[in-house]
Structure 1
Amino acid sequence: MLKNLLKVAVRNIVKEKSYSSINILGLTIGITCSIFLLLYIVDELSYDKYHENAENVYRVVSHIKEPDNEFTWAVAQIPMAPALKEKFPEVKDAVRFFGTGRTLFKYEDKRFYEEDFYLADSTVFNMFSYDFIEGDPGTALDRPNTVVISLAIARKYFDTENAIGKTLAYENGDLLEVTGVIKNVPKNSHFSFDGLISRSSNPDRQGSWGNFGVFTYIQLPENYNPEDMQTNFKSILEENVAPIFASIGITINYELQKITDIHLHSKIQDEAEGGGDISYIYIFSAIAVFMIIIACINYMNLATARSVRRAKEVGIRKVMGSQRKQLIYQFLSESLILGVVAMLLSLFLVFLLLPFFNDVTGKYISFSYILQPNILLALGAVILIVGILAGSYPAFYLSGFKPVSVLKGKISSQGGNVGLRKTLVVLQFCISIFMLISTLVVYDQLNYMRNKDLGFNKDRLIRIEMPGRDLQATYPALRNLLNSNPMVLSTANSSTSPGNNIGKVIFNVETNDGEMVERGVDFYAADYDYIPTLGMELVDGRNFSREILTDTAQSVLVNESMVKRMSWDQPIGKKFNLSNIGRPEVVKVIGVLKDYHQNSLYSEIEPLIVIFSKLNYFTYIKIAGENLKEAIKSVEQDWKKINPEKPFQYSFLDESFDEQYKADEKRGQIFTIFSILTIVIACLGLLGLASFTTQQRTKEIGIRKVMGSSIQSIVVLVSKEFMMLTGLATLLAFAGAYFFLNNWLKTFVYRIELSDEIGTFLLSAVIAMGITLLTVSFHSLKAASINPVNSLRSE
């Protein structure tokens, strides 16, 4: 029986080539897109799950609340980890990662700056699972001045994987012995590194309970409720932290984040790596479902529409003794075969297009991902959904025909349940228009963030990092040489860079009433030329001046947000006490900076102060003219004259700053691509329905032409119904899109107003109507152009 069902199903599919092609193409596009989205979602959900202890490892984060401000840091104090491990037996292990900054390493004639080396506690490989190529994970970091490096670093310096026993030299000549080589940290990690240095290599870095700055992780027992750790944290706070902060009105609470939740759920500004967003997982899951639904709707519509053409087949089969159950099996087998064919074609397309998809998304997904049991299960479910769900209504509808009615010609020539078909068309286009509107608004929001006035000019600015006092000491000579270069407009330096996190320290600040109060304030250091080189604006007072010697030690700049926070009537002359960072006890405000975005537009502008320093970490070079390539070459020559032994490495400030939005831009591109393909699937179904409708009305169209109707009036007649359905779908899509986008935009601190997007909504309606008209008109024109003699004869 099964063999006969398959044989008849294949025969019917081959017989109706155009119908089958439209169905297979629509299903293939829908399934292909759903597979890509499924791979993306599975990859996003897989972050850090490769660690054997992933379910029991947590990061300690610090929530800090001031009298007029609160924020969360992804770091804790240095003494936190040993205190937890020593005092509380439920803490099985505690590990810290200490940033080492940009460091120059040497091996023979090779010199490279590394930014992803960290000091780590020796038990790091007991808690976290990394694949060792060489070395013993249990003892690799036990001794001082030892390092475990990634495979990429081993090949970079030693041209081999066999690096055990070799040494990397610091710039000052100190040596690090390689005691382990691991495979590169998997891309699906919330925290990645190129090298881990033994914590005992820097025993003097003890820190205090008053200073935050290290990533801290703890391992708890299986089935332990992390909420129970709050009692332990309270003990730590009362004993060590409250004595420091309580007197100045600052409260601190510690929270635990499971490492498998960090990538998608953590919104902390100072994350080690750019994170994902769980909301996009929901969005892309919905898109995947939408695409399958639209493809299924196509099948159901076309199958019921062509019911008249199969009515006689059903009638004759029933007269010959076929039972309804057998007919249902027959129609379901046809839809299952179409689903299997579409799935095979989809897998082939995924294999071909996966490199392009990885390029768009920034992922490193391999085709072998599909062999994962959960994905194979999902693919099997898709075939069943497409085969049974899409095929069930046509199967039950067609098999329900009464043979007497069929053979007497009493079956509706309209082809199936017209009301249901119209409902499905409306649903299909409602989803498509909803995604079109969402795509346009997402694009507008990302474009707004990319082009918003940041309060400084990041164009044609080269940024060079200068780690270490020795290298920074060469800046004055470098500055003089660069300023004499005709391809350089100006140079400047600062301790941080726009787009980078900056330090926060508790300072005594003068209030409007002349009292001194303690406030946590963001701060960084800059030289005389920083403000003009970056094109920042002063709204009050003046910049640091070479003519006024006291500016170097007794003056600071503040931003407008700082003025607002302190409610100063007259900010110029207000005092700060900077003694806790080694500055004079009394410094005065000499200028107010117009607010600018030090961090990304995901964060509000924080109050800050700028102190003076001649020598800093970052150097900025403003390029004259548009020939960047030639200018960079000229700057490199100047660099080599001053620092012949140092590698010349640079970045463009605009690219570095915009890097913060890359993840959202990539997600926006994914959304756009799949929205377009959703509309394509809907158009395929519409094309098939329009073809069927014009075929069913061939005689009517012929009579109308004989009676004098023009081609234009016939096209309008046939198109009117579809245009009305699209109009209804547009109204429903408007309501859904407004609700969704209004909530989505609330996740951005700086955003477009949805009330300003009326043009976008109208544009989407015009596009939808235009696509519908073009799709339907193609077949309408074709039918209207046929000679009425031929069309009437064919009837």
Structure 2
Amino acid sequence: MFLNYLKIFVRNLRKNPSFILINVFGLSVGMASSILIFLFVQHELSYDAYHEHSDRIYRVSRAWYNQDGETSLHLGHAAPPFGPLLKSDFDGQVEEAARLLNSKVVIKDEENIFEERRFFFADPEIFKIFSWNLKKGNESSALTFPDGLVLSETMASKYFGEGDPMGQTLTLMIGSFSFEMIVRGIMEDVPDNSHFKADFLASMEPVINFYGGYEEMMKNFGNNSFGTYLKLAEGVDYKDLEAQFPDFLDRHLPSDSRSSKASLGTSLFLWPLKSIHLHSNLDSEAEPNSSIEYVYIYSAIALFILLIACINFMNLATARSAKRAMEVGMRKVLGADRQLLIRQFMGETVYMSILAMVLALVMVWIVLPYFSNFTGKELSINFFSHPEYMVGFLILVLTVGLIAGSYPSLFLSGFQPVSVLKGTYKIGTVHEKFRSILVVSQFAISIVLIVAVLVVLRQLDFMKTKDLGFEKDEIVVLPAYKEFTDNYEMLRERLLKQRGIKELALGSRIPSGRLLDSQGTQAEVNGTLTTIDIRVADIHVSHSFMATFGIQTAAGRDFDYQLASDSTQAFILNESAVRAIGWKDPQEAIDKQFLYGGRRGYVVGVAKDFHFESLHQPISPMVFMIPDDRFNEVAIKIDPGFKDEAIAFLKEEWLAMKADFPFNYYTVADRFDQQYEAEQKIAAVFGNFAGLAILISALGLFGLATYSTEQRIKEIGIRKVMGASIWNVVSLLAQDFLKLVLIGFVVATPIAWYGMNQWLENFAYSIPVPWMPFLIAGISAALVAALTVSSQSIKAAMTNPVETFKVN
């Protein structure tokens, strides 16, 4: 039976190669698109699943609350005491606990200086939680040595080449602190589908010493920079354990300022390991995560493209119905029943789907390296490591074959032999309407995708061009090491003499970063010093910070070099902080008493609100102060006309001052743009797949136009004999299809508006859904339809009427 279906398919391929190839091409494009997105989605859903006990591993996060209960900050990290305390307090429920502390280190070998960012101090228990295999060394002891260091295979090759790294010493530098570590282990590279990647794991001992010993470290609940992971005992429900955390916090933390219970101001949460990558986008993450929303979006696009391809096949198959009507009639006369014919046509479709899959896999093989580079994922089709792919592709072939062949099979097998053989068979209005619905569906999906890409591009343009309230362009940022901060005034005077350097300032954080630092706040409100139960983020700055970034003043003044008290008593707030504290306007805040983190002073100025963080976040209350230290970065404002000269000078000065450290800088403008990479990628995805949707829709419309022209060929001939012009005929044939595009536009508009409105809610600052993308999408779809239909309409209109009357 199947061999017979194959023979019929081959026979039709020889008789109508162009029809078969167009059909196969449409299906293959849909399949290839779906396979690419399937590989991406499968990779996203596989994060951290490779760990042996991944279902029992959880990360601890910490949140803080304002007085009204609103979350003011939620970190994916926790303070150093929490890991050991959770293990001891919940012994029997918590099987293992381990902490990780990420740090940027500088490593110098015999010839080069490297800056490494995937460096983690780690507790020895980390190997009991994560399934990271050591190729050399002992998992149970490698990090128990105070100087123990474990390298990934890539780092071992980078620093030691073909030599044996075991027992070798590396000198590490963190800021001005230098220490030596001995290689005690080599581990396999951390897989790409991990929510963070570690190239180095070092003993926690240097960190303990930095805190002044283990006892002092266990008292520090303020530095919430430690990734804390738990492996729960089998059968433990993490929600039941999480419910015990408020009492745990009340036992170990000092009381909250609002009550005797610390748990009213802060909470701990457990995140299942496999959910972190797609569901955890907290205020601090080990690495930027993705979002389950984008997985849904990609999956929906794959489904839409595949659906359009199937609709395209249906339209093309029914467009050729007139040429197969006689075949169906003869088969029925010779005894074939409808079920047999349905199986025949479905079999042909499945064979066509198999051929399309082969072509689709070739397309994927060609495109996959570019798609992998675009997504930043290591995607591949490896049937040896993933034999389930074969099953998935087989299911895809059968699904596409059944969906695409269902309607044509029912349609073609329903021809009445008497009517067909007499030449009087006519297509019913139900079938005509159904094909119209298919075309409307195709163009509705295409229009939704076009609108989506245009709205995303509009939002991206808005984010990149919006006035952030400060001057971000041409601000170069360098690390502020001790050698720089200790000699800051002298270096500042020297640098300002260089052509191209306009201003510079120190800061604990620089705009484009996250506001993660805050302390207790009290302010004078209505003559009384009042505790402020909202989070006010602190930024430690030098005197020239506001001038460097061009931040405008709403009231009061900037920091003054001539006033020594500004270094110990002066505070500058932003307008959001003024409103949150309860002062009626910026002027009222001036000269009010202000206590922050143990420092007492006065508000000397109020800065106008500006976007310190990306437009995903609302503007937070902020306080600026001049500290004795805590400077992490130096911002240097460059004259764009002398940028290269200024950068060269900075590099020369840097190497003279800090020869052991690489000269690496970033610009504030570039780092703001990097925060919108997810939106840039989704815009590109929408754009590419919207183009494919239009292409496949045009093929489907071409098929329906061909069918319609064949059905009306005698009518066209009569109209031409009666004096109709080519334009009259083209207009007659085109108007019906343009109506379908218009209906598709009407259907797509509310869907696109709702979808994009929901997407824009992810931003604290966004554009309203504009009307122009809808107009552009509608016009684009109409033009594609007009060009597609006109190609067949003009051909029919130019046919000699005599020839049309010869058509049987």
Rate the CA distance shift 1:426–1:325 in 2: closer, same or farther, 3 A: same
1:114 to 101, 113, 116: 116
1:531 to 531, 541, 546: 546
Superposition pairs of residues 68-87 of structure 1, within 5 angstroms: 68=68, 69-71=70-72, 72-87=74-89
Partner of 1:131: 133
| Contact kept? 1:557, 1:592, Cα under 8 Å | yes
2:187 to 182, 186, 208: 182
1:104 to 93, 102, 106: 106
Distance, in Å, in 1 between the alignment partners of 2:469 and 2:163 is: 48
Superposition pairs of residues 558-637 of structure 1, within 5 angstroms: 558-569=573-584, 570-578=588-596, 580=598, 585-613=599-627, 616-626=631-641, 628-637=643-652
Partner of 1:760: 773
Q: Deviations over 1:591-631 (max 9, x none)?
A: 11111122221111111101114762211222213464444
**SS at structure 2 position matched to 1:393:** helix
2:513 to 466, 476, 500: 500
| Contact kept? 1:446, 1:665, Cα under 8 Å | yes
Rate the CA distance shift 1:161–1:228 in 2: closer, same or farther, 3 A: farther
Q: Deviations over 1:214-240 (max 9, x none)?
A: 221111123321111034313312211
**SS at structure 1 position matched to 2:382:** helix
Q: CA deviation at 1:525?
A: 0.9
Partner of 1:650: 665
Q: For structure 2, which runs of at least 5 residues remain unmatched after alignment?
A: 212-216
Distance, in Å, in 1 between the alignment partners of 2:527 and 2:355 is: 78
Superposition pairs of residues 365-380 of structure 1, within 5 angstroms: 365-368=379-382, 372-380=386-394
Q: CA deviation at 1:104?
A: 2.6
| Contact kept? 1:9, 1:330, Cα under 8 Å | no
Distance, in Å, in 2 between the alignment partners of 1:160 and 1:466 is: 36
Distance, in Å, in 2 between the alignment partners of 1:352 and 1:392 is: 31
Q: Which amino acid letter does the alignment assign opposite residue 339 of structure 1?
A: S
Partner of 2:754: 739
Distance, in Å, in 2 between the alignment partners of 1:577 and 1:655 is: 35
**SS at structure 2 position matched to 1:779:** helix
Partner of 2:47: 47
| Contact kept? 2:83, 2:99, Cα under 8 Å | yes
Partner of 2:200: 195
Partner of 1:412: 426
Partner of 2:27: 27
| Contact kept? 2:78, 2:227, Cα under 8 Å | yes
Distance, in Å, in 2 between the alignment partners of 1:369 and 1:588 is: 68
- 1:453 and 2:467 correspond: yes
Partner of 2:299: 285
1:769 to 765, 782, 785: 782
| Contact kept? 1:455, 1:595, Cα under 8 Å | yes
Partner of 1:749: 764
Percent identity of paired positions between Structure 1 and Structure 2: 36
2:94 to 68, 91, 96: 91
Rate the CA distance shift 1:80–1:708 in 2: closer, same or farther, 3 A: same
Partner of 1:390: 404
Superposition pairs of residues 228-627 of structure 1, within 5 angstroms: 228-241=240-253, 243-247=255-259, 250-368=264-382, 372-412=386-426, 417-467=431-481, 469-502=482-515, 503-519=517-533, 520-569=535-584, 570-578=588-596, 580=598, 585-613=599-627, 616-626=631-641
Q: Which segment is superposed worse, 121-130 or 592-601?
A: 592-601
Rate the CA distance shift 1:326–1:614 in 2: closer, same or farther, 3 A: same
1:221 to 229, 233, 241: 233
Partner of 1:669: 684
Distance, in Å, in 2 between the alignment partners of 1:733 and 1:43 is: 31
TM-score using structure 2 length: 0.93
- 1:6 and 2:6 correspond: yes
1:159 to 158, 161, 185: 161
Distance, in Å, in 1 between the alignment partners of 2:668 and 2:243 is: 45
Q: CA deviation at 1:638?
A: 2.9
| Contact kept? 1:526, 1:614, Cα under 8 Å | no
**SS at structure 1 position matched to 2:528:** coil
Distance, in Å, in 1 between the alignment partners of 2:609 and 2:164 is: 52
Distance, in Å, in 1 between the alignment partners of 2:127 and 2:536 is: 37
1:713 to 721, 728, 731: 728
Q: CA deviation at 1:326?
A: 2.8
Q: CA deviation at 1:794?
A: 5.0
Distance, in Å, in 2 between the alignment partners of 1:119 and 1:626 is: 43
Distance, in Å, in 1 between the alignment partners of 2:446 and 2:604 is: 57
Distance, in Å, in 2 between the alignment partners of 1:440 and 1:369 is: 38
Distance, in Å, in 2 between the alignment partners of 1:178 and 1:793 is: 88
Q: Which segment is superposed worse, 349-358 or 629-638?
A: 629-638
Q: CA deviation at 1:577?
A: 2.3
Q: Which amino acid letter does the alignment assign opposite residue 424 of structure 1?
A: L
Distance, in Å, in 2 between the alignment partners of 1:639 and 1:175 is: 24
Partner of 1:702: 717
**SS at structure 2 position matched to 1:752:** coil
**SS at structure 1 position matched to 2:244:** helix
**SS at structure 1 position matched to 2:50:** coil
Q: Which segment is superposed worse, 399-408 or 138-147?
A: 399-408
| Contact kept? 2:36, 2:364, Cα under 8 Å | yes
Q: CA deviation at 1:254?
A: 1.6
Distance, in Å, in 2 between the alignment partners of 1:631 and 1:184 is: 39
Rate the CA distance shift 1:759–1:579 in 2: closer, same or farther, 3 A: closer
Distance, in Å, in 1 between the alignment partners of 2:597 and 2:46 is: 47
Q: Which amino acid letter does the alignment assign opposite residue 15 of structure 1?
A: K
Q: Which segment is superposed worse, 413-422 or 592-601?
A: 413-422
Q: CA deviation at 1:478?
A: 3.4
Q: Deviations over 1:695-750 (max 9, x none)?
A: 33232222212211111111110001101111111101112112222222222211
Query: How many residues were matched structurally?
Result: 787
Q: Which segment is superposed worse, 36-45 or 215-224?
A: 215-224
| Contact kept? 1:441, 1:760, Cα under 8 Å | yes
Q: Deviations over 1:309-356 (max 9, x none)?
A: 111111112222333333222211110111111111111111111111
Q: Deviations over 1:134-183 (max 9, x none)?
A: 22222210111211122333233323473211111134552111111223
**SS at structure 2 position matched to 1:180:** strand
Q: Which segment is superposed worse, 278-287 or 687-696?
A: 687-696
Q: Which amino acid letter does the alignment assign opposite residue 593 of structure 2?
A: K
Q: Which amino acid letter does the alignment assign opposite residue 178 of structure 1?
A: V
Q: CA deviation at 1:120?
A: 1.1
Q: Which amino acid letter does the alignment assign opposite residue 572 of structure 2?
A: L
| Contact kept? 1:526, 1:611, Cα under 8 Å | yes
Q: Deviations over 1:63-107 (max 9, x none)?
A: 22121552322122211111111121210001111233x333333
Rate the CA distance shift 1:389–1:231 in 2: closer, same or farther, 3 A: closer
Rate the CA distance shift 1:640–1:174 in 2: closer, same or farther, 3 A: closer
Distance, in Å, in 2 between the alignment partners of 1:447 and 1:16 is: 48
Rate the CA distance shift 1:500–1:702 in 2: closer, same or farther, 3 A: same
Q: CA deviation at 1:398?
A: 1.6
| Contact kept? 1:97, 1:214, Cα under 8 Å | yes
| Contact kept? 2:446, 2:690, Cα under 8 Å | yes
Q: Which amino acid letter does the alignment assign opposite residue 344 of structure 1?
A: V
Q: CA deviation at 1:518?
A: 4.5
Q: Which amino acid letter does the alignment assign opposite residue 155 of structure 1?
A: S
**SS at structure 2 position matched to 1:262:** helix
Distance, in Å, in 2 between the alignment partners of 1:60 and 1:629 is: 46
Partner of 2:214: none
**SS at structure 2 position matched to 1:50:** coil
